[in-house]
C-alpha cells in the first residue's frame, strides 16, 4: 500500500477560498477502513466472553473491530488504536485486512474460533472506559483513519455496532440489531449481506486520486474530522 499522502486542499466556503497546506489525508484504500464494532463493557462471567477463551474478563474481552469496505486488501502494519489517553495497540508487521473482511483486536486472553482475523492488544489492554471514551485509528503515518466517541451507551454489558445504510452512520447496542437475535457481540463476523448492519456495497472500486466525488465523499469528511480533533 502506498504511503499516506500530503496535499494542498482548497475549500470554497460561502464564496471565500481557504487554502490548507500540508494536510495529511488517507490514501484511497485506507479510506475504506472503519471501526465497525467495539466492546467497552463486557458482561460479567461467561456471558461476556467475547474472545471465546472460556473465561470472562472485564478487560481481556474488550475489543475493537475494523471492517474493510473496499475491494482491495489494506496493509495495517504500523497502524495504531488509541483511546482518549494514549496508544493501546500497534498492529504487527503481518497485519493485513482483506477486502470486505473484519479484523478484531482484543484486550487480551487466548482468543479462539473466530471466522475473521484477530490479534491481542500489543500493550496488554485496550482500557476502554465503560462510561465514555474516544477510539482513534491511525495509519503508520499517523493519519487519522477513523474515530468514535461514545458515552454512557458503552456501559451496557454489550458491544456497540455501526449501522451504515446510506442514510446514517450510527452506533447502536448490539442487542438492538434484530438480525443478531439478542447476541451481545459478534467480533469477526456480520449478519447475512449486511456485515453488522453495513450494507454490502457491491463493487466499490477505488477511484484515481483525487477525483471530485472522492474528495467530497471521503477527503472532506476526514479533513473536517482532523480539524475538529486538533482544535
Q: What is the pLDDT of residues 97-119, one digit of tens each?
A: 999 889 999 999 988 776 679 99
CATH number at residue 86: 2.60.40.1260
Kindly state the cell numbers that stand for 31: 479510506
3-class SS string, the chain: CCCCEEEEEEEEECCEEEEEEEEEECCCCHHHEEEEEEECCCCCHHHHCCCCCCCCCCCCCCEEEEEECCCCCEECCCCEEECCCCEEEECCCCCEECCCCEEEEECCCCCCCCCCEEEECCCCCCCCCCCCEEEEEECCCCCEEEEEEECHHHCCCCCEEEEECCCCEEEEEHHHCHHHCCCCCCCCCCCHHHCCCECCCCCCCCCCCCCHHHHHHHHHHHHHHHHHHHC
Query: Domain range spanning residue 18?
Result: 1-26+214-231
In a shared domain, residues 79 and 101:
yes
In a shared domain, residues 57 and 151:
yes
In a shared domain, residues 151 and 183:
yes
pLDDT at 29 over 70: no
In a shared domain, residues 18 and 96:
no
In a shared domain, residues 36 and 119:
yes
The whole-number pLDDT of residue 206 equals 35
Summary mean pLDDT of the chain = 77
In a shared domain, residues 12 and 74:
no
Give mean pLDDT, residues 130-150: 94
In a shared domain, residues 64 and 8:
no
Identify the band that residue 32 occupies on the pLDDT scale cut at 50, 70 and 90: confident
In a shared domain, residues 113 and 222:
no
| Total tally of structural domains belonging to the chain | 2
In a shared domain, residues 48 and 4:
no
In a shared domain, residues 57 and 169:
yes
Residues 6 or more apart in contact with residue 103 via CB below 8 angstroms: 65, 66, 67, 68, 76, 95, 97, 116, 117, 118
The whole-number pLDDT of residue 30 equals 67
| Maximum mean pLDDT: which of 37-41, 52-56, 175-179 | 37-41
Q: What is the pLDDT of residues 62-110, one digit of tens each?
A: 999 999 988 889 999 999 999 999 999 999 999 999 998 899 999 999 8
In a shared domain, residues 197 and 230:
no
The whole-number pLDDT of residue 56 equals 92
In a shared domain, residues 113 and 194:
yes
- pTM of the complete model: 0.75
Amino acid at each position: 500500500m502506498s504511503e499516506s499522502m500530503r496535499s494542498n486542499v482548497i475549500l470554497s466556503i460561502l464564496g471565500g477560498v481557504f487554502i490548507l497546506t500540508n494536510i495529511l489525508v488517507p490514501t484511497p484504500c485506507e479510506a475504506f477502513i472503519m471501526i465497525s464494532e467495539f466492546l467497552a463493557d463486557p458482561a460479567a462471567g461467561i456471558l461476556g466472553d467475547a474472545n471465546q477463551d472460556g473465561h470472562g474478563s472485564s478487560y481481556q474481552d474488550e475489543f475493537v473491530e475494523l471492517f474493510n469496505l473496499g475491494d482491495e486488501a489494506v496493509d495495517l502494519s504500523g497502524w495504531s488504536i488509541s483511546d482518549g489517553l494514549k496508544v493501546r495497540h500497534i498492529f504487527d508487521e503481518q497485519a493485513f485486512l482483506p477486502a470486505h473482511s473484519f479484523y478484531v483486536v482484543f484486550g487480551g486472553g487466548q482468543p479462539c474460533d473466530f471466522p475473521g482475523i484477530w490479534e491481542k492488544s500489543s500493550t496488554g489492554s485496550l482500557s476502554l472506559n465503560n462510561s465514555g471514551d474516544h477510539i482513534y485509528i491511525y495509519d503508520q503515518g499517523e493519519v487519522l483513519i477513523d474515530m468514535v466517541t461514545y458515552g454512557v451507551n458503552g456501559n451496557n454489558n454489550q458491544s456497540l455496532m455501526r449501522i451504515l445504510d446510506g442514510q446514517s452512520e450510527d452506533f447502536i447496542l448490539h442487542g438492538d440489531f434484530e438480525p443478531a437475535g439478542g447476541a451481545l457481540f459478534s467480533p469477526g463476523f456480520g449478519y447475512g449481506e449486511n456485515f453488522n448492519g453495513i450494507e454490502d456495497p457491491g463493487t466499490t472500486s477505488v477511484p484515481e486520486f483525487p477525483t471530485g466525488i472522492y474528495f467530497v465523499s471521503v477527503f472532506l469528511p476526514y479533513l473536517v474530522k482532523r480539524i475538529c480533533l486538533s482544535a
